[in-house]
Amino acid sequence: MPPSPWPPAGSEAGPVELWSLRQDTLLELPDEPAGNPRASGFPDGAALLSTRWGETRLPITDPVVLLALERLSYGPVSLDNVVAGISAPDGPGSPERDVLAPLLRSMENVLVRSLATKDGRTLLSVVPISRYARFRPAATPAGAVLRLSRFAAMRTHEDGLCIESPLSGQRVVLHRPRSAWLVSCFARPSTPEEAAGRLRMPVDTVRRAVSYLEASGMVVRGTPGATVKEPYAFAEDHDPALLPWSPHDLMLHSRSREGRHDDPVGATDGFAEVLAAEPVVARPHPGPDQVPLPVPELDRVLDRDPPFTVALEARRSVRDYGERPLDLHLLGELLYRSARVRSMGDFRSDDGEPVLTSRPYPSTGGTYALELYLTVSRCTGLERGTYHYDPVEHALTRVEMAAESLDELLAGARATAGLTAEPHVLITMTARFRRMTLKYSGLAYSGLLKDVGVLQQTLYLVSTAMGLGPCALATGDSDLSAHALGLDWRTESAVGEFVLGTLPSAPGADGPSSAGVEVRGYDWHVRCTEELRRSLARAGE
């Protein structure tokens, strides 16, 4: 049996609590007045704390305040060396501790709290990442049962590991392997005493580390359960606000907006010096079979189209199709009105490539990372198959695809949308991720999903105005589409789908839709649907 990596039980003294400032925080202390500053105090002095969330003035009300701030400015320090008992949350107070407590509370969002061994080896650090972060560790009772939060996630961080949770205002940095092993002990319900026994660590060290993990929300405490299947109950498993959330969805939400983390968010151009820029328009898809699409005449469209409010109010998802297939002219008009490149601009001087394009639908920061692939089942003028849309040339290029993959894509779309038959056309929206990720940090993927939504709405409105049957899909199989289209899913992958067909000819099939109970302004939908029917009838005369 190999020797244990841990020192003999009981050979390690209790943990030392260290305090420091976040690395991006600057503390400016006032000049000392004449006389004995530590004896007289600084009733009129103040320190300036500059943080990522703004500046704060800290009154120097007592010599112990000045001494504590000085120590903090040096790096991780034990404030017990300044004020006895400052780290004991449940212990008796002292006058100095009472003086320092308000200062520390006012700085909680920039105070890093660490645990270290007596010989100076840091075990873990709790780093505030939100302006509203609060950290109040309390002693963990003997025999308490704890478990990792189902929302906690571990990843590499600088030279070690860290745990994060969308529910927490802190990041816990694990500086040593034993810290990560300690965390792993709580993958299932366990007590600090059991963890200490498994790892041969001092119980008081484990309890204090667990109190830090619990106060930061990385582990949760259980209570005796009511069933054999659930011997311990954890509040987060029964909280109605958390039950519907998956860990991935909640993490994406919290990390794609500012407020609950300290990662960069916005147009940072973080990889501009490392990676080449992604072309503003995708390179022409390889293939000899290019199909030019008809270009609609603007005057005819203006003369024929219903008013915007009619198209907006009459819009609905159509899941039944007519016997008449789509045709190339209708498909070409839809793509032209919804997704073509209208213009290019802001040419780079070094290579003459355009940086920006203008299209009918909006896009996050003008990135236009979406590509359209059309899987055609029934369309007069097009063979059954899959095509890539070129928004500059307004043309389709055939994509070689196995018949089985084509059938599987159409069958998957039919099942997802609940269609009564194969869609006439499936539009798969892929994202060239680097168009977005080279420019934006934090919000890149959420921005792509917003782009999908606005393109889907644009397709809805134009399809409705043209008298077609549109329906957006809630999800799709990214691996299937990447395999079928021959894409590297890491650089380009499906992020949205949309199906299309002709309207059914049965009487009333194109009538108003209803969720069952009229609420407000349902008559708008009814009247606009009737007006749309009359408008389409006039256009067909």
Shared domain check, 483 and 354 = yes
Per-residue pLDDT at 195 exceeds 60:
yes
74 CB-near residues (< 8 Å, 6+ apart): none
Domain count, the chain: 2
pLDDT tops 90 at residue 81: no
Side chain identity, residue 95 = P
* pTM of this structure: 0.88
pLDDT at 36 over 90: no
Q: What whole-number distance in Å separates Cα of residue 152 and Cα of residue 167?
A: 8
Residues 224 and 348 occupy one common structural domain:
no
Q: What is the pLDDT of residue 12?
A: 46
| Tokens read off for 25 | 């925080």
Mean of the pLDDT values across residues 520-536? 93
Q: 64-78, 239-253, 381-395, 510-524: which has the minimum mean pLDDT? A: 510-524
Residue type for 63, please? P
Q: What is the pLDDT of residue 38?
A: 45
Statement to judge: residues 209 and 331 lie in one domain: no
> Which residue would you say has higher pLDDT here, 429 or 351?
429
pLDDT at residue 507, rounded to an integer: 55
Instruction: Report the percent of the chain where pLDDT is more than 70.
Output: 89
Task: Give the three-class secondary structure for 76.
Answer: coil
For residues 205-215, average pLDDT = 97
> 303 lies in a domain?
no
Task: Let me know if 337 is exposed, middle or buried by CB neighbors in 10 A (0-12, 13-18, 19+).
Answer: buried
Instruction: List the CATH number of the domain containing 486.
Output: 3.40.109.10
Report the C-alpha gap between 384 and 503 in whole angstroms. 20
* Tokens linked to 312: 């907006």
Q: At which of 231, 263, 295 does a domain end?
A: 263
* Assigned domain for 425 exists: yes
Q: Are residues 227 and 273 in the same domain?
A: no
d(CA 126, CA 76): 12
Higher pLDDT, 424 or 226: 424
- Distance, first Cα to last Cα, the chain: 89
pLDDT confidence of residue 6: 35
Q: Do both 433 and 375 map to the same domain?
A: yes
The continuous run of DSSP H or E covering 531 comes out as helix 522-540
Does residue 378 share a domain with residue 365? yes
Domain presence at residue 302: no
Q: Which two tokens stand for residue 118?
A: 């007596």
Residue 4 predicted with pLDDT over 60: no
Residue 525 domain flag: no
Residue type, position 278, single letter: E
Asked if pLDDT for residue 434 goes beyond 80, the answer is yes
Least confident of 25-39, 58-72, 422-436: 25-39
Q: Is there a single domain that holds both residue 490 and residue 390? A: yes
Please report which confidence band the pLDDT of residue 96 belongs to, taking 50, 70 and 90 as the band edges. Answer: confident
Query: How large is the average pLDDT for residues 211-240?
Result: 92
Q: What is the mean pLDDT of residues 487-511?
A: 88
Mean pLDDT within 419-432:
97
Query: Is pLDDT of 423 > 90?
Result: yes
What is residue 390's predicted lDDT score, i.e. its pLDDT?
A: 96
Comparison of pLDDT for 277 and 332, the residue scoring more:
332
How confident is the model over 424-443, as a mean pLDDT? 96
Q: Residue 443 domain-assigned?
A: yes
- Is 46 part of any domain? yes
Q: Are residues 230 and 320 in the same domain?
A: no
Indicate if 236 and 367 belong to the same structural domain: no
Is 526 part of a structural domain of the chain?
Answer: no
| Residue 43 resides in a domain | yes
Kindly state whether residues 34 and 54 are assigned to the same domain: yes
pLDDT confidence of 7, banded at 50, 70, 90? very low
Answer yes or no: is pLDDT of 9 > 70. Answer: no
- 54: number of CA atoms within 13 Å, CB side? 5
Could you report the per-residue pLDDT of 118-174, keeping only the tens digit for each? 888 999 999 999 999 999 999 999 999 999 999 999 999 887 899 999 999 999 999
pLDDT tens digits for range 354-377 = 789 999 999 999 999 999 999 999
Please enumerate in sequence order all residues whose Cβ is within 8 A of that of 38, keeping only pairs 6 or more positions apart, or say none.
Answer: 63, 66, 67
Ramachandran angles phi, psi of 124, nearest 5°: -155, 160
Based on the domain organization, do 221 and 279 belong to the same domain?
A: no
Please tell me whether residues 357 and 221 are part of one structural domain: no
Q: Which residue has the higher pLDDT, 285 or 155?
A: 155
Select the more confidently predicted residue: 228 or 232. Answer: 232
Give pLDDT, residue 65. Answer: 87
Query: What is the residue range of 163's domain?
Result: 16-263
Round the average pLDDT of the chain to a whole number and report it. 89
- Please compute, for residue 30, the number of CA atoms within 13 A of its CA located in the half-sphere on the CB side: 19
DSSP tag of 294: P
Using CA atoms, how far apart are residues 499 and 319, in angstroms rounded to an integer? 9
pLDDT band of 180, cuts 50, 70, 90:
very high
Three-class SS string for 378-433? CEECCCCEEEEEECCCCEEEEECCCHHHHHHHHHHHHHHHCCCCCCCEEEEEEEEH
